[in-house]
Structure 1
């Protein structure tokens, strides 16, 4: 790696456009925590809904990823990404403003809210696909690790402090009006991205008409036939399966089995944000020293250890339970914080610009589909064989995922080897945008 590349890792904010992009992502990340809490309070308190109603709203939020994810990936690869980011941020901001307006007019019902959330989910899907595909146009491949790490660091701060800020705003303003704070954050994000000056080439379609089947297929082949991305993608789907099972079991386990209060649970969860911040601060150094492959594998093994610590927490209201759970959450956040930038930076670097949208939405859509299956599976297992046993099943799953990735070619993946210009298509031709 050259001296210029190392300086890029240390000072990614020197790239024009990246500071505005980082600011947009950071502000909207904080706002998301406000809406996440506000909508749940809105359903339960304002609309007098049930836990099932909250579940329906959450399903509406993620359903577009399952239904439209692969299609959106193909479309985003044909569009310039900055206009997509600006338009979807504006749309999300306006949608959120309609919620307090309907509440004020006494027209807000659960079906209306679910309708808003569904459209919001479609806009978020488009925005996510464009966001992950836009970053490689702002920084060179050698700086993608650092660029993602900076985003993770601000995200970890939001994870730590966002729920506290959200709780205060919801208590002060009420749930309907608190949503406006997130609306403002999206409008700020749109303005910040609109100010970015970057040359965006049109998609290299060669004048071909849109053929969704062919273009979606190209994205699937790129991910699942790639020597490095295929094992990463498959094991990541497994990671999301076991993680969704454990997250479903965690709150009932902590509240009922361990006897933690809701406040203590919130304190324990804040440790995950703190761990995430530390992990993201270390991610660049670890990735450059160990390589992307070994870093991701070690972090996934560490995630298994984190949940093993939680599974070992003493029950029946013992004072040590909070300390043990908090330690497990800190390690959980630490491993995710250190892994994410390495995983994201590597897969962005090895993927040519023309396939960025399809690569990202292919992996994210199937990950979301796995969550839909894993979350209820975790609940069914906990009710049937016990929450602590289910936790150990999840731990074993994380170990399996780590071992599978460790014996794959991905173990040798390094950031300084990740260059899409050196990759070849499956037909032997060079990859060119």
Structure 2
């Protein structure tokens, strides 16, 4: 059985465990930062959008260069160093709050620095996985990681909501700092053989162009990348506006917001559980297309919500369906991208797509906040949903709908 082969790789199991621990902490911080900004620092929708953009700005500014550097070096030391550095950085947030120095400008700077370290970690993380398992089980490995992400998305916000209520948002962020320390320690113990990396060269521009060309001249990766940029732009808008809408517009508290995110994690677990059999039966392309249509269907429920029990049910349903869409198409997408890309280009391919995708959040998050302040939260949400419908139409009409995962890398 494929599952048995996957679990026969003990280094992957350890990698999976480290990922699981850090992800729970990450989702705690995601909610705690939003609550901290809105309820304690009294951020406006626009300021909340700027905070969301700050986390992803390094991806836009440095993502392509980081991809080149990751391809030049062994990835495990990069992962360990990034985890330990993020633990220290997050610890500065409660420290700043304790000494009375924490305001929105300080928080934005710290979040931007955290984003820079996450950029380095993410580029190495996605490129390291093909070293741990054979190509034949890449989709399943990504499905297991996606399931873990979904479980973390369920547990993290619930833990965050409780911690914020009990000890306050700044202290809740310490949970994430500790999770990174644990993750870094586990990753440091991995013994997977890695190539030593390419020797540094003076052809940075040439290497950047090679990575960009691989993605944007590829028959399937190109439409996948372009529509992904639109998807992240619009979901970045929703991420900002929905938080402000739920906490300020509808009057729900951090516990209710955490519950909606937790339902997103439940949907993600279900979607990731179906991802492998669905991809085997229908192919990676059709599954990715279905996932892209589920996102606007999910997010259309948010502006339809009102205060009270019915509104909370709609918000939970929206997050559940959104989580399901990511859990379903995420493993298929990552498995396809990793399978068709040569090892020497893995870092640049992942950094190109991830950095420009996250770069779209840099635009979408503040744009959503500005539109919400100018037109109202519901109008801003409907504009984002319309954009998501457009990207779903585009990907449906592209060659991606026929994509299949090959048996070996190109």
TM-score normalised by structure 1 residue count: 0.84
Alpha-carbon distance in structure 1 between the residues aligned to 2:241 and 2:35:
21
Alpha-carbon distance in structure 1 between the residues aligned to 2:33 and 2:215:
35
Give 2:290's aligned residue: 298
Give 2:317's aligned residue: 327
Give 1:261's aligned residue: 252
User: CA offsets per residue over residues 347-369 of structure 1, 9 Å max, x none?
Assistant: 01111111111111111111122
Tell whether 2:386 aligns with 1:396.
Answer: yes
Alpha-carbon distance in structure 2 between the residues aligned to 1:112 and 1:379:
20
CA contact (8 A) 2:52 2:362 kept: no
Distance change in 2, residues 1:83/1:308 (3 Å)? same
Which of residues 180, 191, 200 is equivalent to 1:186? Answer: 180
Alpha-carbon distance in structure 2 between the residues aligned to 1:111 and 1:140:
45
Distance change in 2, residues 1:178/1:394 (3 Å)? closer
How many Å apart are 1:298 and its aligned residue?
Answer: 1.1
- Aligned-pair RMSD on alpha carbons? 2.8
Give 2:224's aligned residue: 232
Alpha-carbon distance in structure 1 between the residues aligned to 2:101 and 2:375:
44
Give 2:163's aligned residue: 169
The worse-fitting range, judged by mean Cα deviation, of 94-103 and 126-135 is: 94-103
1:192-231, aligned counterparts within 5 Å? 192-203=186-197, 205=198, 209-231=201-223
Alpha-carbon distance in structure 1 between the residues aligned to 2:220 and 2:2:
24
Secondary structure at the aligned position of 1:160 is classed as helix
Give 2:337's aligned residue: 347
Distance change in 2, residues 1:378/1:361 (3 Å)? same
Alpha-carbon distance in structure 1 between the residues aligned to 2:194 and 2:402:
32
The number of equivalent residue pairs is 408
CA contact (8 A) 1:276 1:330 kept: yes
1:3-402, aligned counterparts within 5 Å? 7-9=1-3, 12-40=6-34, 48=41, 50-51=43-44, 56-101=50-95, 113-203=107-197, 205=198, 209-254=201-246, 259=250, 261-262=252-253, 263-311=255-303, 313=304, 315=306, 317=307, 319-382=309-372, 387-402=377-392
Secondary structure at the aligned position of 1:178 is classed as helix
TM-score normalised by structure 2 residue count: 0.89
Between 1 and 2, higher relative CO (CA 8 Å, sep ≥ 6) is seen in 2
How many Å apart are 1:301 and its aligned residue?
Answer: 1.4
Alpha-carbon distance in structure 2 between the residues aligned to 1:163 and 1:419:
38
| Larger Cα-atom Rg | 1
Secondary structure at the aligned position of 2:300 is classed as helix
How many Å apart are 1:218 and its aligned residue?
Answer: 0.6
Alpha-carbon distance in structure 2 between the residues aligned to 1:8 and 1:171:
44
Q: Which runs of 5+ in 1 are unaligned?
A: 1-6, 424-433
Alpha-carbon distance in structure 1 between the residues aligned to 2:148 and 2:125:
16
Secondary structure at the aligned position of 2:72 is classed as coil
